[in-house]
């Protein structure tokens, strides 16, 4: 089959519909001349500006449903009409559509005539539907306006680090673009609700590419019950200024705000890490107005270049992308527990194949403050099962992981320490952690922590995590300071699922003490997810007592190994080599009783 060829089943389905409409569709459908897979529906057009209503079968029908199209002038006049005139009816394909494609088409026509069309005859219902899906219609409007205005004025992307407000507030903008054919083209602009925070935010996330111009933004609360529809959107500067004045009780006069920032002197220069000045383009600063309704942002870019030509102010509607942690990590879901998690401070000891995915998972779960310690550098064979890659070769694992997550995860405070933990924990001022996570896999470190934890970490609980050879099992052990993990480290004797002693479980390399345990990322990242789930439960207050959690593969998995360890009773006898169990065991009875 050549690329782009429509496969035969689609042709067959379309042919059935074509033949059926030719034989039975005279009453309500007529084949459109010179248009493939298109028919004109015979319906009342008085509500639709007396323009044709088309039924179009897409090339991959019925995998994609039939579409009904009205005149494009009805975009933003009637609900669910897209820019190309397509009426979004919310119909999804079903299995029976392949057996009976004619019924698939009739289902679309009936929903259009029996549901969408009657709704459009009720003006109040039309307005309500626009308001119920205000953000969708606003986004479509912004896209259409950007196409109309062109890239030179409308930015491609606007990213906003948002936080809730109760009154109007000002922020900063860092705009990046390129000059082409003596015209500036906006590529991206970063908005912070802090007056000097936009450029550092752009730099942190790697968005500071292109020529820089700094500007200003203002955020104005829009009451929850306030309508935001095509009939109520400000469409000119006068209407915008009137709305801003109303919502701020005349605390903001938009013309004065605009003039003040246009006429103000250049802001204080920015310096990079070397002390050099960051070059800035000379030009008119970006000025943005945002209305905030229940954490949803509707924005306007003011184009003051027209002021200098005495042609008024162009309003460019923009649909910003929120990049704050609440939206990026939770979509604003469950804000109270998320806010509590943002305040937690966690120390992770070891960021190897187990520790690195744990750190990443904690960061993406919203833990606000992370310190990570590891004295090793990243080597090329680590690529197989570490979250870092070859771009981090020969870099400190802890520092590289810090840099990665600082760039990729919003608003996280993370610090990597390229130090040996045995020396690091003897330093003062380590008592402010909510949890210590030790996942080095080294017995001697568990012993070191057992001797030093009270002096080093105060009352913070400690969670030890490790995997057994071949990633056959993983364990997480939570201990409070009142009942610590024993310095003798009884992990092998009392916790582990199998006894590998005397077995050749390591692949040796031709260097002094060099070698590795054979398992892959798919194995150890399962263990990391298991451990992280228990860490988060501890931070959220759902686990507060000393506990042993274990994830253990089935006997069939061990039977497939080249070595034959002695299995302990927690290994499940039933199941295939892909099966496993999760266990919770009582720490006191298992450890202290011994």
C-alpha 186/C-alpha 286 separation (Å) is 10
Q: Is the peptide bond before 62 cis (omega within 30 degrees of 0)?
A: yes
In this predicted structure, the answer to whether residue 131 has a pLDDT above a threshold of 60 is yes
Predicted confidence (pLDDT) per residue in 347-391, tens digit: 999 999 999 999 999 999 999 999 999 999 999 999 999 999 999
In this predicted structure, the answer to whether residue 514 has a pLDDT above a threshold of 70 is no
**Band of the pLDDT at 428, cuts 50, 70, 90?**
confident
Residue 412 is predicted with a pLDDT of 97
Q: Is 581 exposed, middle or buried (0-12, 13-18, 19+ CB in 10 A)?
A: middle
The residue among 41, 38, 40, 43 whose CA lies nearest residue 17 is 38
How many residues are given for the chain?
A: 594
In this predicted structure, the answer to whether residue 509 has a pLDDT above a threshold of 90 is no
**Band of the pLDDT at 182, cuts 50, 70, 90?**
low
The residue among 437, 496, 440 whose CA lies nearest residue 469 is 496
| 58-67, 448-457, 507-516: range with highest mean pLDDT | 58-67
At how many degrees (to 10) do helices 355-364 and 521-539 cross? 50
* Average pLDDT score over residue span 423-446: 88
Tell me the percentage of the chain whose pLDDT exceeds 90: 74
Provide the token pair at 101. Answer: 């494609």
Residue 66 is predicted with a pLDDT of 97
In this predicted structure, the answer to whether residue 407 has a pLDDT above a threshold of 50 is yes
* Average pLDDT score over residue span 54-70: 96
* Average pLDDT score over residue span 19-39: 87
Domains of the chain: 8-120 (3.10.110), 150-258+282-322 (no CATH), 331-590 (3.40.50.720)
Provide the token pair at 118. Answer: 């009657």
CB 179 within 8 A of CB 188: no
CB 467 within 8 A of CB 441: yes
Residue 513 is predicted with a pLDDT of 56
Predicted confidence (pLDDT) per residue in 468-487, tens digit: 999 999 999 999 999 999 99
Residue 308 is predicted with a pLDDT of 40
Predicted confidence (pLDDT) per residue in 316-325, tens digit: 999 999 999 9
In this predicted structure, the answer to whether residue 431 has a pLDDT above a threshold of 80 is no
CA dihedral angle for residue 535, residue 536, residue 541, residue 542, rounded to 10 degrees: -90
Q: Is 326 exposed, middle or buried (0-12, 13-18, 19+ CB in 10 A)?
A: buried
**Band of the pLDDT at 309, cuts 50, 70, 90?**
very low
Residue 306 is predicted with a pLDDT of 46
C-alpha 476/C-alpha 369 separation (Å) is 21
* Average pLDDT score over residue span 53-70: 96
In this predicted structure, the answer to whether residue 92 has a pLDDT above a threshold of 70 is yes
CB 190 within 8 A of CB 136: no
Residue 494 is predicted with a pLDDT of 95
What does pLDDT average to over the chain? 90
In this predicted structure, the answer to whether residue 307 has a pLDDT above a threshold of 50 is no
Residue 310 is predicted with a pLDDT of 44
In this predicted structure, the answer to whether residue 1 has a pLDDT above a threshold of 50 is no
C-alpha 438/C-alpha 457 separation (Å) is 13
The residue among 62, 68, 115 whose CA lies nearest residue 93 is 62
CB 449 within 8 A of CB 553: no
The residue among 78, 86, 145, 105 whose CA lies nearest residue 13 is 105
Residue 130 is predicted with a pLDDT of 96
C-alpha 190/C-alpha 187 separation (Å) is 10
C-alpha 428/C-alpha 318 separation (Å) is 50
* Average pLDDT score over residue span 256-279: 80
Q: In what order do the strands lie in the sheet with 38-41?
A: 29-31, 38-41, 53-56, 67-69
Residue 593 is predicted with a pLDDT of 58
Residue 179 is predicted with a pLDDT of 76
In this predicted structure, the answer to whether residue 288 has a pLDDT above a threshold of 70 is yes
């Amino acid at each position: 089959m050549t690329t782009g060829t429509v496969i035969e089943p689609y042709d067959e389905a379309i042919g059935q519909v074509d033949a059926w409409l030719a034989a039975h569709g005279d009453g309500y459908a007529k084949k459109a001349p010179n248009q493939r897979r298109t028919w004109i529906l015979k319906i009342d057009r008085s509500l639709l500006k007396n323009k044709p209503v088309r039924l179009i079968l897409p090339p991959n029908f019925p995998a994609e449903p039939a579409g009904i199209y009205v005149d494009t002038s009805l975009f933003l006049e009637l609900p669910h009409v897209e820019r190309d005139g397509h009426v979004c009816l919310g119909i999804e394909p079903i299995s029976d559509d392949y057996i009976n494609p004619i019924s698939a088409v009739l289902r679309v026509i009936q929903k259009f005539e029996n549901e969408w069309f009657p709704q459009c005859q009720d003006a109040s219902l039309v307005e309500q539907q626009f308001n119920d899906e205000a953000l969708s219609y606003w986004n479509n409007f912004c896209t259409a306006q950007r196409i109309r205005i062109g890239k030179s004025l409308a930015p491609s992307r606007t990213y906003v680090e948002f936080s809730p407000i109760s009154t109007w507030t000002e922020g900063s903008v860092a705009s990046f673009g390129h000059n082409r054919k003596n015209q500036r083209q906006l590529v991206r602009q970063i908005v912070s609700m802090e007056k000097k925070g936009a450029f550092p935010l752009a730099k942190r996330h790697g968005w500071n590419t292109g020529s820089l111009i700094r500007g200003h933004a203002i955020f104005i609360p829009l009451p929850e019950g306030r309508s935001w529809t095509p009939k109520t959107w400000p469409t000119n500067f006068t209407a915008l200024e009137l709305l801003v004045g109303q919502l701020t009780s005349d605390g903001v006069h938009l013309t004065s705000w605009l003039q003040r920032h246009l006429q103000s002197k250049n802001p204080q220069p920015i310096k990079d890490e070397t002390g050099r000045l960051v070059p800035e383009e000379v030009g008119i600063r970006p000025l943005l107005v945002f209305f905030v309704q229940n954490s949803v942002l509707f924005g306007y870019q003011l184009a003051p270049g027209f002021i200098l030509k005495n042609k008024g102010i162009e309003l460019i509607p923009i649909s910003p992308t929120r990049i704050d942690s609440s939206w990026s990590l939770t979509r604003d879901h469950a804000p109270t527990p998320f806010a509590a998690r943002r305040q937690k401070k966690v120390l992770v000891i070891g960021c190897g194949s187990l520790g690195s995915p744990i750190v990443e998972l904690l960061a993406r779960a919203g833990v606000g403050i992370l310190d990570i310690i590891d004295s090793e550098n990243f080597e090329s064979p680590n690529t197989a099962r570490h979250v870092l890659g070859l771009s981090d070769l020969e870099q400190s694992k802890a520092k590289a992981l810090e840099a990665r997550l600082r760039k990729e995860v919003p608003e996280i405070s993370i610090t990597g320490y390229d130090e040996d933990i045995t020396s690091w924990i003897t330093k003062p001022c380590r008592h402010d952690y909510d949890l210590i996570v030790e996942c080095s896999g080294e017995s001697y470190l568990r012993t070191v922590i057992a001797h030093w934890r009270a002096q080093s970490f105060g009352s913070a609980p400690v969670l030890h995590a490790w995997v057994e050879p071949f990633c056959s099992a993983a364990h997480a052990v939570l201990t409070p300071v009142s009942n610590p993990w024993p310095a003798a480290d009884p992990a092998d004797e009392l916790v582990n699922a199998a006894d590998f002693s005397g077995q050749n479980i390591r692949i040796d390399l031709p260097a002094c003490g060099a070698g590795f345990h054979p398992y892959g990322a798919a194995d150890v990242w399962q263990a990391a997810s298991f451990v992280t789930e228990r860490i988060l439960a501890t931070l959220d207050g759902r686990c507060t007592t000393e506990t042993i959690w274990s994830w253990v593969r089935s006997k069939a998995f061990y039977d497939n190994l080249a070595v034959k360890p002695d299995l302990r009773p927690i290994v499940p006898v039933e199941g295939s080599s892909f099966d496993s169990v999760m266990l919770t065991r009582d720490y006191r009875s298992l450890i202290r009783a011994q």
